[in-house]
Amino acid sequence: MGNYYSNSAPKFKKGEATFLPIPEYSYSGTAKSELKNKSVTKEELAELYESMLVIREFEDMILKLKNGAYEVLSDFEYRGPTHLSIGQEATAAGVCSQLAITDQITSTHRGHGDSIAKGFHAIRRMTDAELKARCPEFENLSGAELQEAVMEDHIYRTIAELFGKEAGYGKGRGGGMHIADFRVGHLGANAIVGGGIPIATGAAMTTRIDVDEAKRGKVVCAFAGDGAYANGVVLESFNWAAQKQFTNPEFSSINFGLPIIYCLINNHFGMTGRADGEVNGVSPLARRAAGFADNNMHAEVVNGMDPLAVRDAISRAKELCKNGQGPVMLEFNTYRYFGHSLSDPRTEYRTKEEEALWKEVDPVDCFRKSLLDAKAFTEKQLVAIEEKVAERNRRAARRAADAADPDPADVIKYMYTDTTSEVVPAPYNQCMTRGPRPTIKRDAEGRMTYKAAIQEGMIEEMERDARVVCYGEDVADYGNAFKLTKGMLEYFGRARVFNSPISEAAIIGTGVGMAMTGYRPVVELMYMDFALMASDQISNQAAKWHYMTGASTKVPMVIRCSVGGGKGYGGQHSQSLESIFAHIPGTLVAYPSNPYDAKGLIKTAIRDDNPVVFVEGQLLYNVKGVVPQEDYTVPFGVANVIREGSDATIVAWGPAVNDAIKAADALAEEGISVELIDPRTIVPFDWETVFASVRKTGRCMVVSQCVDVGSFTGEIVSKIVENCFDDLDAPVLKLGAKNGIAPQAHSLEKAFLPSVEEMVETVHKLM
């Protein structure tokens, strides 16, 4: 098929691979020439200048606050990060000046300027009705007065978030390093270097395939510094965005490249290390793009100190994206005047002479001179803009400093959302299929396998909601490593079921981006062990954005991962790691033990608006059970009392449940009555059902296939002791895998995992 398959014999012919050149500094315009060519208006020039001034004033405020020199806040003690971007104003203003309100960005820990610029230029494009919808408190204002009031509100809420106030964009939960404003397409600054790049890539995925065609015109700009462009997940994202399956007409029904512009802000320092000449082996950094796409991702190097050069490059990049030719990489050569933070004096790794040379091309000063040279504005007019910006910032800062702090009683408010997608909005509620529906087999008794039950649940949810997509390694033509998704590609098409590169971090990160922008991805990690490759994107991204934005966004995604313990696959393919993610607030964790629960829980997981780690036991894939054909769900946080008993309680989940049933049968023959509880979800956990059982039986054992040390079984034991101490007739015991590494040898693995015999022996100890 096209470039993907070849029936001809391989030809090993002598030759050489060639690479396209990467343009550098192709823009040569000025304010004067742009005005003459009518490619810019005086109003647009004034907007650019004011945008840069707002950023510079904001950053200067932080600098002065730390030095006690910001007079209007002389009584305020600022606590928080001080990652200044002074010197980089032209990149933020130039990029965002070319973005529509609905276009999206992600940013970095040094992202105040990006956030300010995105809001600033979006507000300048809003109608009176849009401005009033954003700030209903200004209902009685109109025109320029209304716009100025909303602009000051933008600065106020930015400063309030920096100060950790309830009025901030994230209600003080995220702070300046995680600031976001989803109303204008700002998907969040990221304190993990490079962490926002796969999220932006996922947002571009949503734009590319969105069933609502009105939403397909968006472009995503991903800001990241030079340090990020050696980061694994960033390079994975480039590879992801450049996949030929997106644009090969023989391979995809949507022949459209990802509409994303990677904005490499090369300020020449990661933290203290230099990118060029020290920790990188290429120059310019834009050469990275040649490793991922034959067209170099249209890479070029741009003067990042000139807002007009930035504006020109983004304008052309947007056109490429809108024509389906993305992704695009732009390297903006700029400079940050200060260290990584204000605790860094910079003296160890750069000179004053170097800084002085860069300040000679200061973006604010040089653009100001250019405006005067072009006779676009008088000195008096520019001074008026400068004074307006400074006074606006002073008012907003004072108001932010005086604003209310978050209530300590709300310290974990917004950790989870309690919403679901029970009602699917149009046009996503239409069943959009491409071919024959996969055949799901049941026997004469209505039984099906655990594996088939998960597939049926996924198919039903994808039929119900067109926002649900499924992707991961080998899930398409091959049908996943265990044939669980077989036939789904043919039924739903490659826009909704597709293979991914072997890039676990990018699989999860793009899922986060899709989820934050309206879709509901079900992403697959072939083995749960591989979740460790993606743990940042699960734990720092998926889990935290709802909280860090003060509930401004949701991350409705399902992370399917199978556990291979008991199959002789050894230490890197056998780990039951659900306890790790139970320890990460913000994620839900489900682990069904039987086909009925497997179908009901996967459907609940897909409909839930929280990120769900959905664990599947490979030993359970071929276990059969009765599964109704009609639509049903199994609620999270409601345990299943598999059998009632009076002498001891066993709490178990996943494959351990079937062994616990055998243990309970063996104990029954001895006259010991066991009550067996399967919690079904670890987070949320049904504490009351367990407590009620323990209060009745007075004894309890908790068992799972997790390594015993650090297992969630210990948390259950602790809670039982705390809440049921007076009802206990024996210590609460736990049983798990041995505190070691899963072995491959069958004899060793059998000894490694908790056995039926060990469960029986442990209950004997309780008696």
| Kind and range of the H or E run holding 511 | helix 504-516
φ/ψ (deg, to 5) at 754: -65, 135
- Closest of 327, 320, 124 to residue 239, by C-alpha: 327
Q: Cis ω on the peptide bond leading into residue 521 (within 30° of 0)?
A: no
Q: For tokens 């693995």, what's the residue?
A: 749
Amino acid identity, residue 478?
Answer: Y
Distance, CA of 482 to CA of 485 (rounded, Å): 8
573 is catalytic: yes
- Closest of 214, 451, 201, 149 to residue 328, by C-alpha: 201
Sequence-ordered list of residues with C-beta below 8 angstroms from that of 211, at least 6 positions apart, any chain: 427, 428, 430, 432, 466, 467
Q: Cis ω on the peptide bond leading into residue 743 (within 30° of 0)?
A: no
| Annotated active-site residue in 178, 573, 583, 764 | 573
3-state secondary structure of 532: helix
Q: What angle do CA 353, 356, 362 make, to 5 degrees?
A: 155
CA distances from 681 to 284, 341, 590, 620, 633 (A): 50, 42, 4, 16, 13
Distance, CA of 597 to CA of 64 (rounded, Å): 59
Read off the tokens for 620.
């359970």
| Ordered DSSP codes for 557-626 | -EEEEEE-TTSS--TTS----HHHHHTSTT-EEE---SHHHHHHHHHHHHHBSS-EEEEEEGGGTT-EEE
| Kind and range of the H or E run holding 293 | none
- Provide the annotated active-site residues: 573
